[in-house]
């Protein structure tokens, strides 16, 4: 999120029928060796900062393009990208809405993507995000993801998040 | 909408199986006793104002976080929040697209939310908005909402809108 | 897209049950005889231009309201509008995410609309876009669209794109 300078996000796809693993690497602050994977595109106008994150305001919008890898390590093999945007749409809590596609460019889901649209109450232990669409092997898929913080480095602001995806109607 | 300074929105959930009532209170202009629940985050560039609302332009985007209550009264018990954004995406009519979650924090749907994504032709008597996803008790739910203007105060710009939600596949 | 000054987009609805034809006319640069149907509302902050389009950046957002006609000709009878927005959400390729409604105002789908949310890898020959919702005759519909470039005029920047929509569960 906005105050996370470089977060590594682990993503697990646990289909009700089949299972896949992936990881998502998010970089807010660009460095010579790591370009930003998150860019702010719009700012809210409320002067009240959100709880737990004084740099984030109600209405802030970020576009993301994070590498997806098989596991939580930054050197884990790439399987795709997590692309979309999120909006801080709560006045009173640190919560964002994700409008996100998990785009696979390698592995068993190569050429397929899932569209997720759901609410991320960032301090919560588990966040449920519904699947709204899918393409390729995910065409017609329904289901949801459970998002969890795996680890967080308060110095580097690196984070590891996991999503367990529960999918029906996969091809 | 953009020219509605403080609107009270009644929301009814009329599931095909079960029924719930809620209300949505939208405040565009902040006051000492009522913070803004709608913030503009992006502006369109077309100089032509939309019909019926000279302050709104094609491309304008607003983020909202409105209280949800059981009934249309401002003092009705709170049941959650309506959070998301809308975009004025018509050049020739006063119409917005809603990308909205109805987040319940009390009552029988506490901890659940519905994701709605649909078109609001504001002057129309009834607007149909499809459900694209749901979480918790709304996990896997399908259906739609019918949005209606309940009342409008031209002085305060307060409005009361109702949504009747017709849902299938609820838990 | 951003460097397409005026594109004519042909749209075909090929339902699994029923078939319809439509066309979408997109104008980025306004002229006395043709108002802009695409407006930029937010800009990304990355300095790296996207491949194949130096004017477009990761994070750019556009709102669109394109005429829909029966066929690819600019003089083909109007059947509605394609309204929504798209975001350039890839750092390394010319790819946009569409959040789009196909709104019919004439013909056999008059009063109905489909909501599409999917990824457009612009140089690709075929792009699959999932349906996430529908209203009226598309209420409860599921399916997807296949988007193809039909023709492109490098001088006028006019383009003709086709979408073949494959829909289930139509009324």
Distance CA C38, CA C28 (A): 5
CATH 2.40.480.10 fits C2-168, yes or no: yes
Judge residue C13's burial from the number of C-beta atoms within 10 Å of its C-beta, 0-12 exposed, 13-18 middle, 19 or more buried.
buried
pLDDT (tens digit, 9 = 90+) per residue, B12-51? 554 444 334 455 656 655 555 566 677 888 888 666 667 7
Nearest Cβ partner of A103 from C44, C45, C119? Answer: C119
Judge residue B17's burial from the number of C-beta atoms within 10 Å of its C-beta, 0-12 exposed, 13-18 middle, 19 or more buried.
exposed
Distance CA B27, CA B121 (A): 20
Distance from CA of C135 to the nearest CA of B (A): 6
CA-based nearest residue in chain C for residue A137: C128
Nearest Cβ partner of C83 from B42, B45, B97? Answer: B97
What is the Cα gyration radius of chain B?
A: 15
Helix (H) or strand (E) holding C84: strand C78-88
Number of H helices, E strands in chain C: 0, 12
Least confident of B42-51, B136-145, C126-135: B42-51
Distance CA C127, CA A111 (A): 11
CA A165 from centre of chain: 12
Q: What is the DSSP string of chain A?
A: -TT-SEEEEEEEEE-SS-EEEEEEEEESS-BTTB--SEEEEE-----SEETTEEEEETT-EEEEEEEEESSSSTTSPEEEEEEEEEEE--SSS-EEEEEEEEEE-SGGGTT-EEEEEEEEETTSSEEEEEEEEEEGGGTT-EEEEEEEEEEE-TTT--EEEEEEEEEES--
Can you give the pLDDT at residue A15? 44
Strand partners, A31: A34
pLDDT (tens digit, 9 = 90+) per residue, C140-153? 988 988 887 777 76
Q: What is the DSSP string of chain B?
A: -TT-SEEEEEEEEE-SS-EEEEEEEEESS-BTTB--SEEEEE-----SEETTEEEEETT-EEEEEEEEESSSSTTSPEEEEEEEEEEE--SSS-EEEEEEEEEE-SGGGTT-EEEEEEEEETTSSEEEEEEEEEEGGGTT-EEEEEEEEEEE-TTT--EEEEEEEEEES--
Name every chain A residue with its beta carbon within 8 A of the beta carbon of C89: 63-65, 83-85, 101
* Nearest one of B9, B2, B6, B5 to B102, comparing CA atoms: B9
In this prediction, residues C57-71 reach a mean pLDDT of 84
Can you give the pLDDT at residue C19? 35
Strand partners, B151: B160
Share of chain C above pLDDT 90, in %: 22
* B142-to-A95, A113, B133, C100, C130 alpha-carbon distances in Å: 24, 21, 7, 19, 16
Neighbours of chain C (3+ CB pairs under 8 A): A, B
CA-based nearest residue in chain B for residue C64: B89
Interface test with C, best of B41, B51, B58 (most C CBs within 10 A): B58
Can you give the pLDDT at residue B69? 75
Share of chain C above pLDDT 70, in %: 68
Other Cβ atoms within 10 Å of C52 Cβ, number: 12
CA-based nearest residue in chain B for residue A62: B41
pLDDT at C6 exceeding the cut of 70: no
Higher pLDDT, B118 or B50: B118
Higher pLDDT, B159 or A167: A167
Confidence category of residue B150, pLDDT binned at 50, 70, 90: confident
What is the Cα gyration radius of chain A?
A: 15
Name every chain C residue with its beta carbon within 8 A of the beta carbon of B165: none
Mean pLDDT, all residues of chain C: 76
Confidence category of residue C81, pLDDT binned at 50, 70, 90: confident
Can you give the pLDDT at residue B5? 31
In this prediction, residues B82-96 reach a mean pLDDT of 89
Name every chain A residue with its beta carbon within 8 A of the beta carbon of B39: 44-46, 58-59
Torsion of CA C9, C13, C19, C25, to 10 degrees: -30
Can you give the pLDDT at residue A14? 46
Q: How many CB pairs under 8 A join A and C?
A: 80
Least confident of A88-97, B51-60, B112-121, B144-153: B144-153
Nearest Cβ partner of A44 from B41, B113, B133? Answer: B41
Name every chain A residue with its beta carbon within 8 A of the beta carbon of C117: 99, 115, 117, 132-133
pLDDT at B159 exceeding the cut of 70: no
Interface test with C, best of A133, A135, A137, A171 (most C CBs within 10 A): A133
CA-based nearest residue in chain A for residue B140: A143
Name every chain C residue with its beta carbon within 8 A of the beta carbon of A109: none
Nearest Cβ partner of C91 from A65, A84, A139? Answer: A65
Nearest Cβ partner of C115 from B87, B88, B118? Answer: B118
* A106-to-A10, B100, C119 alpha-carbon distances in Å: 16, 33, 17
Other Cβ atoms within 10 Å of B110 Cβ, number: 12
Token couple for A27: 């970089």
Can you give the pLDDT at residue B153? 66
Mean pLDDT, all residues of chain B: 76
With CB atoms and an 8 Å threshold, state whether B129 touches C135: yes
Full pLDDT tens readout for chain A, 171 residues: 333 333 334 444 544 443 344 556 666 555 555 666 778 888 886 666 677 777 788 899 999 888 777 777 767 788 888 899 999 988 888 899 999 999 999 988 899 999 999 999 888 889 999 999 999 989 999 898 888 777 776 665 556 667 778 888 777
With CB atoms and an 8 Å threshold, state whether B115 touches A132: yes
CA-based nearest residue in chain B for residue C81: B90
Name every chain C residue with its beta carbon within 8 A of the beta carbon of B119: 83, 101, 103, 113, 135
Q: Give φ, ψ of A52 to 5 degrees.
A: 85, -5
Global model pTM greater than 0.90: no
Q: Which residue has the tokens 């750019």?
A: C60
Q: Sketch the domain layout of chain B as residue ranges.
A: 2-168
Can you give the pLDDT at residue B20? 41
With CB atoms and an 8 Å threshold, state whether B42 touches C41: yes
Interface test with A, best of B30, B65, B130 (most A CBs within 10 A): B65
Nearest Cβ partner of A133 from C43, C95, C118? Answer: C118
Distance CA C149, CA C142 (A): 23
């Amino acid at each position: 999120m906005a105050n996370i300078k470089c977060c590594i996000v682990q993503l697990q796809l646990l289909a009700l029928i089949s299972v896949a693993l992936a990881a998502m690497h998010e970089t807010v602050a660009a460095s010579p060796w790591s370009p930003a994977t998150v860019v702010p595109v719009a700012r809210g106008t409320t002067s009240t900062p959100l709880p737990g994150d004084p740099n984030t305001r109600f209405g802030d919008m970020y576009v993301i393009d994070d590498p997806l890898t098989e596991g939580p390590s930054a050197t884990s093999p790439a399987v795709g990208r997590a692309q979309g945007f999120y909006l801080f749409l709560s006045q009173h809590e640190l919560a964002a809405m994700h409008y996100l596609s998990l785009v696979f460019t390698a592995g068993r889901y190569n050429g397929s993507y899932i569209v997720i649209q759901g609410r991320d109450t960032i301090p919560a232990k588990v966040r449920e995000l519904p699947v709204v669409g899918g393409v390729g092997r995910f065409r017609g898929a329904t289901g949801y993801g459970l998002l969890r913080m795996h680890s967080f480095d308060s110095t580097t602001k690196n984070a590891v998040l996991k999503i367990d995806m529960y999918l029906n109607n996969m091809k």
